[in-house]
Amino acid sequence: MNLKECRDRCLRNCSCMAYTNLDITRGGSGCAMWFGDLLNIKQLQSEGQDLYIRVSASEAELKKKSNVRLAIILTTVLGAFFGFLIVACYIRRSRRKLTDEVEDNNLSDKENKDEHEDMELAVFEFGTIAQATDSFSFRYKLGEGGFGPVYKGTLPNGQEIAVKRLSKSSGQGLKEFKNEVKLIAKLQHRNLVRLLGCCIQGVERMLVYEYMPNTSLDAFIFGQKHSEVLTWSKRFEIICGIARGLLYLHQDSRLRIIHRDLKASNVLLDSEMNPKISDFGMARAFGGDQTEANTNRVVGTYGYMAPEYATDGLFSVKSDVFSFGILLLEIISGRKNRGFYHADQSGNLIEHAWILWKEGKPLDVADDFLVGTGDLSELLRCINISLLCVQQHPEERPSMSSVVHMLGSHNELPSPNQPGFLFSKKFKAYSSPDIDRSSSRNEISLSLLEAR
């Protein structure tokens, strides 16, 4: 009888209490059952043998309930444990997020504080600027440049200000904003526009300047409406003032600064028509003995750029000297270098001035009003200086200290060589891939360069 048959036989007898294999001798088989008390179990093998004992149904049910209870307890404990882990992770993550936010706020506050300290000038509240400009009303808009719109405003103390507001669509950005603030805040000169403060709130970035009631120089030298307001003596004073301002930037300030965007619209005039150089968003500062640098991002205004800067990105103090030479020619002639047109010539203002110089008629480049009323020797001297400033090679151009000296003396001046950057309209226009058109610029095309 095998074990299964033995089990069936025991279950059919209510007196059977246990059963097992009958294996008294090794290799034996059969069935052994116990009835009543479990006696004589020594007959089982000493090495051990399974004994199947019959129990009541109530005991079996209790064991089952115990197993279920144990399973419930284990499930509850494990659920509580995992719930605790989830809550702990959530609290930890919340604390970390809160800590990060506090650190970010502290860092932002520190950056703003450091930024304000680095600027070394007053910081205006946005509400103060908005009130001063009547919420940036169009009636108070003075103009708009590469940085953004400029508004006239009046502070509560009655002081008039000019507010440059960084436009979201501006080609210039936060980098140029910070650059202008950090540079001009460190500059103090009568021929540089004075920065009164700034406003940094949210996405708003604004610069607050002293108000220049006579706007910019280009409004007076181009066109017949205001050109005769500036006599030659006043124009000569403006020329000397611009030269002294550039000399301060290049030599006498704490940092050697290259403006990189000197032009008529960036020279402002105060109530007494004194010139003040403005717009330092493109300026670069040199330290130590550095005299030149190179950039892959050429910024500025076409028509005022030196050849080495426009073509190779190389700029130095001599780049500003070239721009000053162009500006000097424009002040003398009353005409723009960019977009210059003459019936008998196809080039620009530089070429026009050079041809007249070679022909021995340099005063013909000057405005007729100035020739008839001005000091001809000073006019001739300034034309000579302008041509020296726009020489092809930087080393052939004078420094601003030499320019200031030449303007104030009556010594004989050297003769200029052929200027650089002569254009010809017969060539096809092209755009240099290295020139960033998103910076202070006017909508023009750049002609192929050819030295002649």
Angle of the 376-389 helix axis to the 349-358 helix axis, nearest 10: 120
Residue 421's region, left for phi above 0, alpha for psi from -120 to 50, else beta, is left
Q: 50 φ, ψ to 5°?
A: -70, 135
Which of 218, 261, 279, 367 is an active site residue?
261
Contact 21, 29 (CB under 8 A): yes
Q: Where are the domains of the chain?
A: 3-54, 57-119, 126-210, 218-447
User: How far is it, in rounded angstroms, from Cα 282 to Cα 440?
Assistant: 8
What are the two backbone dihedrals, phi and then psi, of residue 168, each rounded to the nearest 5 degrees? -65, -30
Structure tokens at 147: 């940085």
Assess whether the region 126-210 and the region 218-447 belong to the same CATH fold. Answer: no
pLDDT in tens, the chain (452 residues): 888 888 898 988 888 988 888 765 555 578 888 888 877 766 665 566 788 888 877 666 666 667 777 888 888 888 888 888 888 888 888 887 777 666 555 545 555 555 444 556 788 999 999 999 999 999 999 888 767 889 999 999 999 999 988 876 655 556 677 767 777 777 888 999 988 888 888 888 898 999 999 988 988 998 666 677 889 999 999 999 999 999 999 988 877 888 988 999 999 999 999 999 998 878 887 765 555 666 656 667 778 888 888 888 888 899 999 999 999 999 999 998 876 655 555 568 998 999 999 999 999 999 988 988 889 999 999 999 999 999 999 999 999 999 999 999 999 999 999 897 654 443 333 333 344 433 444 433 333 344 43
Q: Domain 218-447 adopts which CATH fold?
A: Transferase(Phosphotransferase); domain 1 (1.10.510)
Per this entry, what is the length of the chain?
452
Task: Count Cβ atoms below 10 Å from residue 139 Cβ, excluding itself.
Answer: 8
Residue 100 annotated as catalytic: no
Domain 126-210 has CATH 3.30.200.20: yes
- Residue 139: how many CA atoms within 13 Å on its side-chain side? 4
Q: Give which of 177, 184, 172, 178 is closest to 146, Cα–Cα.
A: 172
pLDDT of residue 444: 36
Neighbours of 446 (CB within 10 A): 17
